[in-house]
Structure 1
Amino acid sequence: MAEQSFDMIVIGAGPGGYVAAIRGAQLGLKVAIVEREHMGGICLNWGCIPTKAILRSSEVFHLMNHAKEYGLKAEAISYDLDAVVKRSRGVAKQLNSGIGHLMKKNKVTTFMGEATLPAKGKVSVKTDTGTETLAAKNIVLATGARARELPGLEADGDLVWTYKHALVPGRMPKKLLVIGSGAIGIEFASFYNTLGADTTVVEVMDRILPVEDAEISSFAKKAFEKQGMTIREKTMVKQLDRGKGKVTAHIEQNGKVTKEEFDTVISAVGIVGNTEGLGLQELGVKVEKTHVVVDSHCRTGVDGLYAIGDLAGAPWLAHKASHEGVMVAELIAGGHPHAVDPDAIAGCTYCHPQIASVGLTEAQAKEQGYDIKVGRFPFIGNGKAIALGEPEGLVKTIFDAKTGALLGAHMVGAEVTEMIQGYVISRTLETTEAELMNTVFPHPTLSEMMHESVLDAFDRVIHM
């Protein structure tokens, strides 16, 4: 077939790629997008969206089991795991179809197939009907990442699962081992534990949720243990012996190895970038630890070649990928967009209780030499939290004592993944404690705790 030319070609239609394509088209560029599997990428099909759907089901189940506390009656409460999964897959399918519609609406040419870069400015796409040859001065790599698998702990889909297997389980685990306590591991641990699985979480670091503020991690750990989870920190799974219907895990803690049987293991030990098979090495693209090395504007160092999202490194967040996609499209169109600031990107974990954060932890602020003021406010002091029956939680804020700049905000509790955006905006606007203190927060809301936490940092807290 004849070569087709575009202004911009995007490889990968996840939350980074498809957003880059739309923004490029909005700016008048002739855009093509290549996707090998499904529109929307991992996030929409096997990550962010379907996990939130199943977690919503477990949240409703939890509330049903506590109906009496709300003056309600609910008897013989149970769940249908197949129906929970079916709803989750339906949500993903609905949004997947929507991405295709957005491509057509914005006149983005879509190619379904496997892409390679045979030369600078060239993309070859192997489709079901043959090979398409495309050309563009600007190419955006948005191929994402996949689950990391450690030797001896590889998933088999039966006894040992990755996140994909955990989203479409063929059975309900009775005794579950989750390896890794990042967002993915903790979310699945929370889901299955709520539905009744005897759940153990193993974390090699000295605390669970190791990227979060230590105080928030500690609070979350106590909440999970109260729900019946077993949490084992500074612990490593050395080996998995697979038998009929069971897995024997060799677990090392404090130099001692013990054996414990489980019927299901979920491996959530990180991700690796999808760099293989593209021809990056031949083009001179630098790859470190499976991720493409880029500058602050996602340029790879090869003229006209960009990398965004999980492929380009941490933080591994869909909203970070989308923002990078917009930034790169605007750069290609001749604009001068601001670089994405990793410290201004919120992280959210949708377990029960939820966890959300932005900016520096208390330890990081001290390590960077700041003289800090720290404010805290507990959910138990908030009227809306008590009315909701959600009195367990904490809002923590960290300020530069000299300038009043908001350095970081960290929360654990009900709906904090929605609340965190207030602090994200504050950081983007370079808000100080003065503006936050003078902001009138509505009552009764959970967001009032954000105000009180700021007040507490400067010894002005009212309701504590």
Structure 2
Amino acid sequence: MSDQYDVIVLGSGPGGYVAAIRAAQLGLKTAIVERENLGGICLNWGCIPTKALLRSAEVFHHMKHAKDFGLAADKISADLDAVVKRSRGVAKQLNQGVTHLMKKNKITVHMGEGRLTGPGKLEVQGEKGKTSLAAKHIIVATGARARDLPFAPADGKRVWTYRHAMVPPEMPTNLLVIGSGAIGIEFASFYNDMGAEVTVVEMMDRIVPVEDAEVSTFLEKALTKQGIKIKTGAALEELKTDSKGVSAKIKGKNGKVEANDYSHVIVAIGIQPNTESIGLEELGVKMDRGFIQIDDYGRTGANGLWAIGDCVPGPWLAHKASHEGVAAAEAIAKELGNKEVHPHPLDRRNIPGCTYCHPQIASVGLTEAKAKEAGYTVKVGNFPFIGNGKAIALGEPEGFVKTVFDAKTGELLGAHMIGAEVTELIQGYVVGKQLETTEAELMQAIFPHPTLSEMMHESVLSAYGRAVHF
């Protein structure tokens, strides 16, 4: 006899556990299946522990520049083992928090490998054997893993994925980072601050290629100034490892191939969805390069089967997964007869992106180039950190805030920032976009002084020729 539920969630990352909680809040009998750690990759091996590492690197960076603040910090050093230990402690604390949330919301947790065995049916292979579960609706939230180089798979010794880079067996001396997306750039920034020589290789013509071109240009200059070597328009031709290190052949944009030696390499070239061997094919689920195809609420097309998070089309971000989880749970509740719930589909135009390198990057909406490609006539505002009193007082005068508006309607199309704490500032523009604000409301809003947020106001004013402080 199978255990029967209204909803079963396969995977407990920030999409899965949030979906389970929302389903339980709506009165649905809910279970969650997890093969490793509650909280998934984000809490245990991704978003949170990496930010703990980066915080340590940030503090170390400030210590090295204490003299700039009239302070003395002599003979400072970094203990990589202690930094990693703190990071793992943060992850453990949050894992325990998710465990508490499952109990609080009366969600049954089944630990083990889950596999779909038919419509509304799931089998879990745990330590004590197999358990059969059944549900009116199943949400697949199995996430993704790092994509390997086909000719040099990660070994955890010399070739690392993000997961190895979070618990390094030793401190790299000369590190090669392949890929300049958020993961690659964050680890490049971390290990550079910790004292390694770092080289970043990117196939595209600029780093962080999904960001606005001005942000990419500014970041490359900032990282180069910090001592990081940047190679854009470059391709890795060959990678060989031995007990002493890594030898790499890199083809530059000029067509020449250079050979260099490194102590370690981090591969950050994208993700591979965890959708193999879980029974999706047998249920006729549509896939594209392994990613499950869904509608705006997470429906897969197979009756009663939903999918969210990193196993569906991107952007592959934790907050996007959580939002999808809520939308799916509410849509399920509505299908099961709840007339009080009103699910909303995900609006991909309003998903913010954040990269926690030094300086930080944050953005939402269309870049200037994408807005023009979409046919908009645009007004663009730009305000530099050097024009902001709080930024100067903090000793963080590097960066800018850029805003893109529809010249005809005043609609905020996009916002792009680089500099200190912009990952916190971006939410102001996200809320503005969600409320369909125009430049008029943003201009009339009162921003507190002295704050970094004043630059958001000034950037809007700049787009309309009204900037005050620059």
**TM-score band, normalised by shorter chain:** over 0.9
Q: Which residue identity is paired with 1:128?
A: E
3-state SS, counterpart of residue 122 of structure 2: strand
- 1:250 matched residue in structure 2: 249
4+ residue runs over 6 A deviation: none
Instruction: Specify the SS of the correspondent of 2:383.
Output: strand
Task: State the shift of 1:263 in Å.
Answer: 0.6
- TM-superposed CA distance for 1:244, in Å, is 2.6
Aligned to 1:112: 111
Deviation at 1:336, TM superposition (A): 3.2
Tell me which residue corresponds to 1:298: 298
Distance, in Å, in 2 between the alignment partners of 1:26 and 1:297 is: 18
> d(CA) in 2 for partners of 1:259 and 1:10?
48
Which residue does the alignment assign to 2:435? Answer: 429
Which residue does 1:151 correspond to in 2?
150
2:337 paired residue number:
none
SS of residue in 2 equivalent to 1:225? helix
Partner of 1:52: 51
Counterpart in the other structure of 2:311 = 311
Residue matched to 1:451 = 457
* CA-based RMSD: 0.6
CA distance in 2 between partners of 1:265 and 1:127 (Å): 35
Offset of residue 411 of structure 1: 0.1
Q: Which moved more, 1:329-338 or 1:430-439?
A: 329-338
Please list, as runs of the form range in 1=range in 2, the aligned pairs for 1:19-418 lying within 5 A after superposition: 19-253=18-252, 254-334=254-334, 335-418=341-424
Amino acid in structure 2 at the alignment position of 1:351: C
The answer to whether the 8 Å contact 1:153/1:267 transfers is no
List runs of 5+ in structure 1 lacking aligned partners. Answer: none
Report if the CA contact (8 A) 1:250-1:259 is conserved.
Answer: yes
How many residues are treated as equivalent by the alignment?
463
- Cα distance, 1:238 vs structure 2: 1.5
Give the secondary-structure state (helix, strand or coil) at the position aligned to 2:216: helix
The SS at the match of 1:411 is strand
The residue type paired with residue 468 of structure 2 is I
Deviation at residue 255 of structure 1 after TM alignment: 2.0
Give the secondary structure class of the aligned counterpart of 1:153. coil
Cα deviation, residue 175, structure 1: 0.4
C-alpha distance in 2, partners of 1:230/1:84?
Answer: 24
Q: Secondary structure at 2:118's aligned position in 1?
A: coil
* Contact in 2 for aligned 1:394/1:411 (Cα 8 Å): yes
User: Is the 8 Å Cα contact of residues 145 and 273 (structure 1) preserved in structure 2?
Assistant: yes
Alignment partners' CA distance in 1, 2:375 and 2:297:
27
Helix, strand or coil at the partner of 1:37: coil
How far off its partner does 1:212 sit? 0.3
1:239: how far off? 1.2
Q: TM-score, normalised by structure 2?
A: 0.98
Assess if the C-alpha contact under 8 Å between 1:200 and 1:230 holds in 2: yes
For the 8 Å contact 2:176–2:265, the answer to whether it is kept is yes
> Which ranges of structure 2 fall in alignment gaps of 5 or more residues?
335-340
Distance (whole Å) between structure 1 residues aligned to residue 322 and residue 311 of structure 2: 13
Amino acid at match of 1:276: E
Distance across 2 between alignment mates of 1:257 and 1:340:
44
Opposite residue 144 of structure 1, the aligned amino acid is: G
Aligned-pair CA distance for 1:374: 0.1
Q: Distance in 2 between matches of 1:77 and 1:284?
A: 59
Cα distance in 1 for partners of 2:428, 2:282 equals: 45
Displacement of 1:154: 1.2
How much has 1:124 moved relative to structure 2? 0.6
Q: Which moved more, 1:358-367 or 1:294-303?
A: 294-303
Instruction: Compute the displacement of 1:27 (Å).
Output: 0.3
User: Does structure 2 retain, via aligned residues, the 8 Å contact 1:274–1:311?
Assistant: yes
Aligned equivalents of 2:121, 2:141: Cα separation in 1: 16
